[in-house]
Amino acid sequence: MENYLIENTEIFLRIMSSLLAGGLIGFERERKGKAAGFVTNVLVCVGAASIAVIQCLIIKDMLIYDDLSVMRSDPSRLIAQIVSGVGFLGAGAILHEKGSVKGITTAATIWVVAAIGIAFGMGFYTLGCIVTATVYFSIMILKKIELYFLTNKIRVNFYLEYCNPDVYEKKIRLFLSEKTIGIRKFHHLDVFQVEENPVHRASIELIVPRYQNVDELIREICLQEEVIKFKKIKKRV
């Protein structure tokens, strides 16, 4: 009975450790508005840990002792299936759109979260904690360093109110494509009435080359007669 309680307590600790690790990384991803957010990372980490625990239990049950040797099942089989399965999940997070590729960091995060789950599931708590801390540091700190010092583009966020959305949105997309400027987000907020005319509100985030004059760019965007109100939210590197 005592051994049973110890064994189940250990399993509980492994699963809870993976839940906390996946939740920590997933919280940061959710805060950034990524497709694979809090719940996704928790499920990937806990799922990988669960399969690793199952592998450990299978090995334990299949031990065959005799006078000469100990025969074990191959401990890599289920783990290999996790790695390949999570690879497909990560591939689904990568989007190809108008010559650009998005979601690679998200896919890599899903993959490494699965590795963290395997570490905790196999009982390697120190390894799991070290990798969790490293991943969190990477996506919180190193990503900012990359944006500040290693890329040749900046992000520009602003808010627009405009009418005739079909016309204006085509204009702005054409204008930006001619200047090789990418639209990272074009989020429609709502529609309201002004003197019985519908006015659309949207928040927009652009990926702008560093050589581009941002103020001049925004001025050209707002020169169109459809624009009613403009507000620059922030400019971040």
Q: What is the pLDDT of residues 102-121, one digit of tens each?
A: 677 777 888 888 888 888 88
Query: What pLDDT is stored for residue 218 in this prediction?
Result: 80
Quick check: helix, strand or coil at residue 202? strand
Q: Is pLDDT above 50 for 67?
A: no
Query: What pLDDT is stored for residue 112 in this prediction?
Result: 86
**Per-residue tokens: 225:** 């007669």
CA quadruple 208, 213, 214, 219: dihedral sign = negative
Quick check: helix, strand or coil at residue 94? coil
Contact 182, 206 (CB under 8 A): yes
- From the list 1, 90, 14, the residue with the least C-alpha distance to 46 is 14
Quick check: helix, strand or coil at residue 75? coil
If one compares 210 and 149, the residue with the highest pLDDT of the two is: 210
Its pTM stands at 0.55
Q: What average pLDDT does this structure show over 35-56?
A: 83
Query: What pLDDT is stored for residue 66 in this prediction?
Result: 45
Q: How far apart are CA 49 and CA 138, in angstroms?
A: 22
Q: Is pLDDT above 80 for 70?
A: no
The pLDDT > 90 percentage for the chain reads: 0
Mean pLDDT taken over the chain: 76
CA quadruple 224, 237, 95, 189: dihedral sign = negative
Distance from the Cα of residue 19 to its chain's centroid: 17
Class of domain 153-236: alpha beta
The one-letter code for the residue type at 23 is G
Phi, psi of 204 (to 5 degrees): -130, 135
Structural domain spans, the chain: 2-150, 153-236
pLDDT tens column, 178-208: 777 878 788 888 888 877 788 888 888 888 8
